[in-house]
Amino acid sequence: MEGLNLIFSEFKELKNIDRPTLMSVLEDIFRNLLARMYGNADSFDIIVNIDKGDFEIWRNRTVVEEVTDPNTQISLDDAKKIDDTYELDEEVMEEVKLEDFGRRNILALRQSLAGRITDIEKANLYNKYRERVGEIVVGEVYQVWKKELMVLDDDGNELLMPKSEQIPSDFFRKGDTIRAVVAKVEMRNNTPVIILSRTSSIFLERLFEQEVPEIFDGLITIKKIVRIPGERAKVAVESYDDRIDPVGACVGVKGSRIHGIVRELRNENIDIINWTANLQLLIQRTLSPAKISSIKVHDDGKRIGVYLKPEEVSMAIGKSGLNIKLASQLVGYELDVYRETEEEEEDVRLDEFNDEIEQWVIDALKNIGCDTAKSVLAISIPELVQRADLEEETVNELVQILKKEFEEDAEPQKKENQKKENQKKPAEKGK
């Protein structure tokens, strides 16, 4: 009995299970065992004392002359063996000792208890973290694998962070402290799996709440966050108090607030934008410091043309097209960048070359802000290969196609100019 009591004490000390639940589990396990042994457990009283780490089981039967139900009745002769003072119709309470169960039943009871405690632990862990989805947790890296990390929280619970939820430049060793947001909680094979994330926009939002008191207090609201983890993020903020500058509050004095967030995100560039319901103004702020000349909404209502001077285009598009991509996500429209030219009518849209250039190539060029032939020709071949992620052979072919278009357009004008030049020569000779 002492060995079993030791187990009870161990579960009470080490497992995060409340007292009423543990008492109920123990009573249920004993009652099931008694039902298997005696056929019915209704006549048994089970008293569990968690604090002392022990229990008592009492069997209740009525003294009768002739026994018809051994579970609820006992003969007078058997009752007097327990206590010779018993009489007919009296209730007999007999204590059932642990030894009476037998070794096999005790082992079964022990396994059943361990299984039930494990199930309760799993349910508690699932419910605990399901309520914490979207919160930041701090843990210790316990194991590093190729495709994921195992993190232990303060209670020793195992949390997982897949490679896809890690910032590309993240590098952790066993024992490192890590901060991440609880992304989701799910059950796999009756086991709770807690997934952490450092790439989620919610993680960035929670970091701002921790670093910027005005956001935590609700004086500044984060309207929208878009990010490419480890590279760049855009955060639109709004203040309902005209006395508070939301952008300045988020940046802090000499960048004191934003620097901590940037370091946590492995030097991810963060643009903080003052939110506005005015779409044109929001686009201008989103693409700042590039200066927009004009904006035009396309007929489909899903795309917006942004016109800039040639020297502003690369700034608006950003490295590898990240800036224009995030700006599109933030404003909720696909932004197409166009270069303003003095002879804009001479340019040709790329869509007009779909009979010579495959559509996926045209789409790749559009993704980096090139919608017209001249906008493509204005970029060097090596840069097109890198930014549009195209093969050099493909780029060479499309450049030749585009150049040929302008050469053909220029040929009639060239002949006309030559004709005028020839007409001038005789007159010059006559002089």
Every domain of the chain with CATH number 2.40.50.140 lies at 139-199
- Judged against a pLDDT cut of 50, whether residue 1 lies above it is answered with no
Q: Report pLDDT digits (tens) over 46-80.
A: 887 766 666 788 888 888 888 888 888 888 888 88
Write 115-122 long-range contacts (CB < 8 A, 24+).
116/25, 116/28, 116/29, 117/11, 117/15, 117/17, 117/22, 117/25, 119/190, 120/15, 120/17, 120/21, 120/25, 121/15, 121/16, 121/17, 122/190, 122/191, 122/192
Q: Report pLDDT digits (tens) over 316-342.
A: 998 888 999 999 999 999 998 888 765
Tell me, what's the pLDDT at 429? 39
Tell me, what's the pLDDT at 324? 93
CATH number, span 139-199: 2.40.50.140
DSSP-derived letter for residue 112 is H
* 134 pLDDT tier (thresholds 50, 70, 90): very high
Higher pLDDT, 365 or 98: 365
Q: Using an 8 Å Cβ cutoff, are 161 and 196 in contact?
A: yes
- Judged against a pLDDT cut of 90, whether residue 374 lies above it is answered with no
**Model-wide pTM > 0.85:** no
CATH architecture classification, 2-127 = 2-Layer Sandwich (3.30)
- Judged against a pLDDT cut of 60, whether residue 286 lies above it is answered with yes
Amino acid of residue 221: T
Tell me, what's the pLDDT at 319? 85
* 131 pLDDT tier (thresholds 50, 70, 90): very high
Tell me, what's the pLDDT at 106? 78
What mean pLDDT is predicted for residues 78-95? 84
Nearest CA among 396, 411, 405 for reference residue 374:
405
- Judged against a pLDDT cut of 70, whether residue 88 lies above it is answered with yes
What mean pLDDT is predicted for residues 276-292? 93
Q: Report pLDDT digits (tens) over 388-397.
A: 888 889 989 9
Q: Report pLDDT digits (tens) over 191-224.
A: 999 999 999 999 999 999 999 999 999 999 999 9
What mean pLDDT is predicted for residues 6-31? 68
* 2 pLDDT tier (thresholds 50, 70, 90): very low
Tell me, what's the pLDDT at 164? 95
Amino acid of residue 121: E
- Residues with Cβ within 8 Å of 84's Cβ and at least 6 positions away in sequence, in order, are none
Tell me, what's the pLDDT at 341? 62
3-state secondary structure of 343: coil
Nearest CA among 103, 96, 110 for reference residue 45:
96
Every domain of the chain with CATH number 3.30.1480.10 lies at 2-127
